[in-house]
C-alpha cells in the first residue's frame, strides 16, 4: 500500500477554492482533485516513473494529464501564492515588519530520461493531443515552456538550476528555472519581477534581500536602489581592492550587517527541505513546466506543514 497523507486538511482548505469546478463540464466528470494531488505528491516524493504509480492512487495516465494541465494553466502558481499567504505568521507589528527574503540557486542533476522533449510548446501540444475536455485558462500571463526546456549540457551531464526567493521559515516563495550552467546574478531581477506579479491584488509587504557575493555586482546594487529594496550583500575582495585603490574617489563601501547576513542560510535550508522529495532532487521531467509544477507543489506543502 502506498504511503499517502501529504495533503492535510489544512492544506486542502486553502487549495480547494483554486481547483476547477466539478460542475458545468461536458463529458466524463473530474476525478477527485484531492486524490489527484496525493498521487502527484507520491510521484515527486518517491521519484518513481509515472507508469509505476500504485493502482490505488488512480490511473497513471489520468494523474499525469492532470499534473500536466495544472502545470501549464497556472494552477500550481496560484496554489503556491495562496499557501504562502496562509502559512505566513503575522508579526506583532503587522505590516511594519520588513520581511527577509534570501536568494540563491541550487543545481539539480537531470536524468537521461529528462532529455529528448519535442521543440513545440507543451501547452500547445497538450491542447492538441489531450482528451481532457474543458475550456483553457483565461490567465493572460501563463508560463511558457523555454526552447531549451531549462536543461543545461556540460561535461558533468544534464542539469537544471533552481533559483528562488526563500523566507525565514525556509520555504521558497518565488521560483524560476534555468539551464544548469546559467549564472546566479542575472536571474535576480526576473525573480523580483515575478515576486511583484505574485503580490498583485494584496497589500505588498516590504522586504529585504539577503544574498551572497555572487550577486555583488554594481548593476545589481543600482537596480535594488532604484526599486528601493534594502539588501545585505557582501562585497567581493576584488571589488574592495578596486574601491580602495581609488582612494577618496572610491566612495564609501556599501552597508553590510554581518548579524543579519547570518540569516541568509534560510535559502540553503529551504533547498535541503525541497530535495527531500526525490523527484525534485533529480529531474526526470522532460518539460521544464512540469518539473516547475512539481517544485511549486512541494514548496506549497512546506508552507503549510
179-228 residue pLDDT tens? 999 999 999 999 999 999 888 766 667 899 999 999 998 899 999 999 99
Low-confidence winner among 4-8, 20-24, 54-58, 255-259 (lowest mean pLDDT):
20-24
pLDDT at 172 exceeding the cut of 70: yes
| 175, 163 contact by CB (below 8 A) | yes
What whole-number distance in Å separates Cα of residue 14 and Cα of residue 305? 13
Beta-bridged to residue 154, according to DSSP, are: 157
pLDDT band at 295 (very low <50, low <70, confident <90, very high): very high
Q: Which of 287, 108, 268, 123 is nearest to 182 (CA)?
A: 108
pLDDT band at 94 (very low <50, low <70, confident <90, very high): very low
Q: What is the pLDDT of residue 177?
A: 96
Q: What is the pLDDT of residue 201?
A: 66
State the sign of the Cα–Cα–Cα–Cα dihedral 129, 130, 134, 135: negative
pLDDT at 13 exceeding the cut of 50: yes
Q: Chain-wide mean pLDDT for the chain?
A: 84
Higher pLDDT, 94 or 280: 280
pLDDT at 137 exceeding the cut of 60: no
Burial class of residue 258 in the structure, from the number of CB atoms within 10 Å of its CB (0-12 exposed, 13-18 middle, 19+ buried) = exposed
pLDDT band at 299 (very low <50, low <70, confident <90, very high): very high
pLDDT at 21 exceeding the cut of 60: yes
| 94, 155 contact by CB (below 8 A) | no
Q: What is the pLDDT of residue 71?
A: 94
pLDDT at 286 exceeding the cut of 70: yes
Q: Tens of pLDDT along 29-86?
A: 778 899 999 999 999 999 999 999 999 999 999 999 999 999 998 999 999 999 988 8
pLDDT band at 19 (very low <50, low <70, confident <90, very high): confident
Q: What is the pLDDT of residue 111?
A: 92
Q: What is the pLDDT of residue 241?
A: 79
Q: What is the pLDDT of residue 305?
A: 83
pLDDT at 92 exceeding the cut of 50: no
3-state secondary structure string across the chain = CCCCCCCCHHHHHHHHHHCCCCCCCCCCCCCCHHHHHHHHHHHHHHCCCHHHCCHHHCCHHHHHHHHHHHHHCCHHHHHHHHHHHHHCCCCCCHHHCCEEEEEEEEEEEECHHHCCCCCCCHHHHHHHHCCCCCCCCCCCCCCCCCCCCCCEEECCEEEEEEEEEECCCCCEEEEEEEECCCCCHHHHHHHHHHHHHHCCCCCCCCEEEECCHHHCCHHHHHHHHHCCCEEECCCCHHHHHHHHHCHHHHCCCCCCCHHHHHHHHHHHHHHHHHCCCHHHHEECCCCHHHHHHHHHHHHHHHHCC
Percent of the chain with pLDDT over 70: 83
**Mean pLDDT within 271-297:** 95
Low-confidence winner among 92-96, 104-108, 145-149, 270-274 (lowest mean pLDDT):
92-96
pLDDT band at 158 (very low <50, low <70, confident <90, very high): very high
Percent of the chain with pLDDT over 90: 59
Q: What is the pLDDT of residue 203?
A: 65
pLDDT at 261 exceeding the cut of 60: yes
Please state the φ and ψ torsions of residue 162, each to the nearest 5 degrees.
-100, 125
Higher pLDDT, 17 or 144: 17
What whole-number distance in Å separates Cα of residue 177 and Cα of residue 187? 9
Query: Where on the phi/psi map is residue 182: left (φ > 0), alpha (ψ -120 to 50), or beta?
Result: beta
Q: What is the pLDDT of residue 117?
A: 80
Count CB neighbours of 148 within 10 A. Answer: 13
Amino acid at each position: 500500500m502506498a504511503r499517502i497523507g501529504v495533503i492535510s486538511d489544512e492544506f486542502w482548505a486553502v487549495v480547494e477554492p483554486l481547483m476547477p469546478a466539478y460542475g458545468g463540464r461536458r463529458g466524463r466528470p473530474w476525478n477527485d482533485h484531492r486524490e489527484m494531488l496525493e498521487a502527484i505528491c507520491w510521484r515527486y516524493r518517491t521519484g518513481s516513473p509515472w507508469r509505476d504509480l500504485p493502482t490505488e492512487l488512480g490511473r497513471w495516465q489520468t494523474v499525469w494529464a492532470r499534473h500536466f494541465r495544472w502545470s501549464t494553466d497556472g494552477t500550481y502558481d496560484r496554489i503556491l501564492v495562496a499557501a504562502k499567504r496562509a502559512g505566513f505568521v503575522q508579526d506583532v507589528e503587522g505590516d511594519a515588519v520588513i520581511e527577509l527574503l534570501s536568494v540563491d540557486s541550487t543545481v539539480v542533476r537531470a536524468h537521461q530520461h529528462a532529455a529528448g522533449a519535442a521543440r513545440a510548446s507543451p501547452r500547445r501540444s497538450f491542447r492538441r493531443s489531450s482528451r481532457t475536455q474543458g475550456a483553457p485558462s483565461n490567465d493572460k500571463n501563463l508560463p511558457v515552456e523555454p526552447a531549451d526546456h531549462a536543461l543545461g549540457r556540460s561535461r558533468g551531464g544534464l542539469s537544471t538550476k533552481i533559483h528562488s526567493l526563500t523566507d525565514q521559515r525556509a520555504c521558497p516563495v518565488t521560483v524560476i528555472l534555468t539551464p544548469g550552467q546559467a549564472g546566479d546574478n542575472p536571474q535576480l531581477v526576473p525573480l523580483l519581477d515575478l515576486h511583484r506579479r505574485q503580490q498583485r491584488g494584496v497589500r505588498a509587504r516590504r522586504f529585504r534581500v539577503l544574498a551572497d557575493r555572487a550577486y555583488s555586482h554594481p548593476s545589481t546594487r543600482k537596480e535594488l536602489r532604484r526599486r528601493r529594496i534594502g539588501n545585505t550583500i557582501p562585497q567581493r575582495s576584488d571589488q574592495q581592492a578596486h574601491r580602495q585603490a581609488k582612494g577618496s574617489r572610491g566612495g564609501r563601501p556599501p552597508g553590510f550587517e554581518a548579524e543579519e547576513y547570518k540569516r541568509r542560510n534560510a535559502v540553503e535550508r529551504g533547498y535541503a527541505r525541497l530535495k527531500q522529495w526525490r523527484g525534485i532532487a533529480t529531474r526526470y521531467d522532460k518539460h521544464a513546466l512540469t518539473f516547475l509544477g512539481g517544485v511549486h507543489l512541494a514548496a506549497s506543502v512546506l508552507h503549510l506543514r
